[in-house]
Amino acid sequence: MQIYLDNAATTPLDPEVIDVMVEAMKEHFGNPSSIHSHGRQVKTLVEKARKTVAHLLHATPAEIFFTSGGTEADNMAIVRSIEAYGIQHAITSPLEHHAVLHTFEQLEKDGKIQLHYVNIDEKGNVDLAHLEELLSSLPKTLVSLMHANNEIGNLLDIKKVSALCKEYNALFHSDTVQTMGHYPHDLTDLKIDFITAAGHKFHGPKGVGFIYINSNNKIKPLIYGGAQERNMRGGTENVYGIVGIAKALEIAYRDMHKHQTYIQSLKDYMIEKLKENIPNVAFNGNIEADKSLYTVLNVSLPCTNMNDMLLFNLDIAGISASGGSACSSGSDIGSHVLRAIKADPNRPSVRFSFSKYNTKEEIDITVAKLKEICEHP
């Protein structure tokens, strides 16, 4: 039996998404930039997808731009807003995805900005009082804080951060890659400058994402070369990916409450089973439902002699999980998130992440295997 518990890395494609993508591949091969009928048909598909995404997010179609994924979208928001608005200071946290952290680090190295890190507590929560202190003392600032952490699952009070940024006239970008399709985003209510998303995190295709750019903001393209995406991203559109991501988001919103309830029950069940079966088990980050992403559980295990082999043993047993961000797999330095919250380096940590396709039976098998590994390494 193969068990997949690494949905924060990527999710399996929903069959409905596959169907609409295959139909588009079979029926529509034209270039959406072409003015003839074949091109116009495909352009219609792209714009229909844009309208779908905008409608679900309570945005306008003119505020949605398709990209190759979350990393490109994050880079676009950060690099181009700093250039457009003469940003001098950037505020982020040490827990951000490397698509954000590495971009800021390079910009600081290039002398474009001064980078500041907001304090976090031992659970990985952002210190909003310190954020306000920074905002009050730094002019021309961009704040970039993710809505939910991809490794430990902590949720940010995005509305409070948005209000603070507005009060101090700072730009606000949030990487919403882990929450898009899992929580509703009302961009009429949420006053934010940029959010970013990737289709493969909510049962859509890889290689496609989008950026929301508030209509009050004017930035330049990150990629030049053509007039695609209303002159904001050069290059022939990934039509089939765009069709797929719009369908995936539509399904996610349609079934959101049902899936939230079900997946949260799986997470709660695994927490209880781990506590029952593995003495001294602990959890990195928040596990309370109102403070934590319901798809992610980061487990700290007492089997200290298994630090290097735990994931390997799970894989041999047919269980796929992660030791941290999938984008850092193979790195010798381990998780920057776990280091930042001062997690015990001698205890192995595993990120289990769930989807609508997982079952309690899979949780039981996984917990039993973890118990076996810890008792008989």
Among 206, 239, 254, where does a domain finish?
254
Note whether 192 and 326 are same-domain residues. Answer: no
pLDDT band at residue 376 under the 50/70/90 scheme: confident
Q: Which of 46-55, 298-307, 363-372 has the lowest mean pLDDT?
A: 298-307
Note whether 210 and 358 are same-domain residues. Answer: no
Residue 332 confidence (pLDDT): 56
d(CA 301, CA 310): 10
pLDDT band at residue 334 under the 50/70/90 scheme: confident
Note whether 157 and 189 are same-domain residues. Answer: yes
Which of these, 275, 281, 323, lies nearest to 301 by C-alpha position? 281
Among 254, 287, 308, where does a domain finish?
254
Amino acid at 59: A
Q: Which of 116-130, 297-311, 363-377 has the lowest mean pLDDT?
A: 297-311
pLDDT per position as a tens digit, 244-296: 999 999 999 999 999 999 999 999 999 999 999 999 999 999 999 999 999 99
Containing domain of residue 307, as a range? Answer: 3-12+256-375
Note whether 140 and 181 are same-domain residues. Answer: yes
The enclosing domain of 350 has a CATH number of 3.90.1150.10
Note whether 273 and 228 are same-domain residues. Answer: no
Token reading at 109: 């190295």
Note whether 266 and 218 are same-domain residues. Answer: no
Per the structure, the count of domains in the chain is: 2
Is 70 exceeded by the pLDDT of residue 307?
no
Note whether 231 and 298 are same-domain residues. Answer: no
Length of the chain: 377
Note whether 22 and 8 are same-domain residues. Answer: no
Task: Write out the catalytic residue numbers.
Answer: 327
d(CA 126, CA 258): 29
Residue 303 confidence (pLDDT): 83
Note whether 52 and 134 are same-domain residues. Answer: yes
Residue 62 confidence (pLDDT): 98
Rg, C-alpha atoms of the chain? 21
Are 189 and 40 spatial neighbours (Cβ–Cβ below 8 Å)?
no
Are 233 and 239 spatial neighbours (Cβ–Cβ below 8 Å)?
no
Note whether 39 and 89 are same-domain residues. Answer: yes
The enclosing domain of 196 has a CATH number of 3.40.640.10
Note whether 62 and 150 are same-domain residues. Answer: yes
Among 254, 287, 312, where does a domain finish?
254
Note whether 7 and 22 are same-domain residues. Answer: no
Which of these, 343, 261, 264, 357, lies nearest to 299 by C-alpha position? 343
Kindly give, in sequence order, each residue whose CB lies less than 8 Å from that of residue 332, ignoring residues fewer than 6 positions away.
Answer: none
The pTM score is 0.95
